[in-house]
Amino acid sequence: MKYYSTNNKSIRVNFREAVLKGIADDQGLFLPEKIKTLPEEIIRDFRKTGLNEIACTIAGIFVNNDIPDKVLSEIIKDSLNFEIPLVKVEENVFSLELFHGPTMAFKDVGARFLARCMSYFTETSKTITILVATSGDTGSAVANGFLGIEGIDVVILYPSGKVSPLQEKQFTTLGKNITAIEVSGTFDDCQEMVKLAFADPELKKRINLSSANSINIARLIPQTFYYFFAYAQLALNSLPLIISVPSGNYGNLTAGLIAKRLGLPVEIFLAASNINRPVPDYLETGEFKPRPSIETIANAMDVGNPGNFERILEMYDHSWKAIKKEIIGFSYTDDQIRKSIKQVYKNTGYLLDPHGATGYLALKEYLYDHPGIGIFFETAHPAKFHTIIEEIIEEDLIIPEKLLEFDNRRKKTVVISNRFEDFKNYLLSQITG
């Protein structure tokens, strides 16, 4: 398997280079060149195996011998060392709980796999500085995944005051090879600064930069595993299958589109968003208009210019019509999110988090006049947003030990403005010798 840049089809690199670089030299994103559909028997046999076996089969296709099978299988075992249960919430409505990892958000899956692949590759390359912009969950998942890994420094940019205190503690208190940069600005500013850093010739020459955002293809590949695992947990022939994905930067949904090319029998994807809706608007009108992000209670999805949209366009040859056939967009206000959390809890006892709630809402709206079997992704543990949730359900939550662990530690950050020059100066000041 080779990877090409969304800006230039003639650039071809192998998995190793795509992972180490994160982004192509021409600033394009890497995409697998040809995805072959898996034979139906293999997908059917996924029912008899577990998540690890499914992951090994699929990862093998994408890694293509850049990592020996034995090492890859260890990487997968280490990365996916937690459950991903499919929970029935209502008749024909299932929640795929992706939040049982160490930082209790789905990004653990991608970040842990990426960190281990990179660690394997850096044994034979020079020190890498990973830049990552976060609206909350990426920072904690990436920090946790890379903490203490030799040869890799991680620099996390996040918008000051816009990340929940619990999330902030998860990546600002670690020390070691993890530095947190607090930016006076929005998530979009942070993402833009990271983009500019990759495009900056001086930085490129002096620092070995890479990315751990979902623009890195090694974040997306492991996310295809659980689409198949979810399907494998349903009764045979549970069709038509509808998958609803709470979306912000659109990495998770892009992984789903790749899974579909691999043969996942999904009828339609629902792109569930909060009021930040550049993609639902595109799906409706054919026009893509990035815009400043707006703060919501589903803050990991407060993205005004989703990084992976470029990949989606490229996968469908920029055809709006083709994209519209596979994805339907939905968008919900904070008020609608709150109401659904309250109602689902009251009616079923199942507790949604604000992100999963958008997925649930989209799924219900679609199923209303399109019968089928629906799965929505629960992307974070509700306790990560306990203040919001407690107010909605008027009950106290039990906060898992994993989340409390960091609460008493001291936050340590570097504070900068949202000007790229400040960020660049900081990075250059870190090079010694």
Ligand X SMILES: *Cc1c(COP(=O)(O)O)cnc(C)c1O
Q: Which residues bind ligand X (CB under 6 A)?
A: 105, 107, 137, 214, 246-252, 300-301, 355, 379-380
The H or E element spanning position 327 is strand 327-331
Parallel/antiparallel/unpaired status of strands 373-378 and 414-416: unpaired
Strand-strand pairing, 30-32 and 3-5: antiparallel
To the nearest 10°, report the CA torsion of 197, 199, 203, 205: 160
> Tokens in use for 264?
């996942």
- Comparison of 43 and 259: residue with beta carbon closer to ligand X: 259
Q: Which residues contact 129 (CB under 8 A, 6 or more apart)?
A: 152, 153, 154, 155, 207, 208, 209, 210, 427, 430
Q: Which is nearer to ligand X, 141 or 241 (CB)?
A: 141
Nearer to ligand X, 21 or 381 (CB): 381
Closest approach of Cβ 402 to ligand X, in Å?
15
Distance CA 115, CA 111 (A): 6
Structure tokens at 228: 């198949």
Residue with smaller CB distance to ligand X, 250 or 406:
250
Residue number with CB closer to ligand X (295 or 422): 295
What CA–CA distance (Å, rounded) separates 69 from 60? 7
Considering the complex, state which of residue 149 and residue 300 has its C-beta at the smaller distance from ligand X.
Answer: 300
Asked if omega into 382 is within 30° of 0 (cis), the reply is no
For residue 376, the minimal CB distance to ligand X (Å) is 11
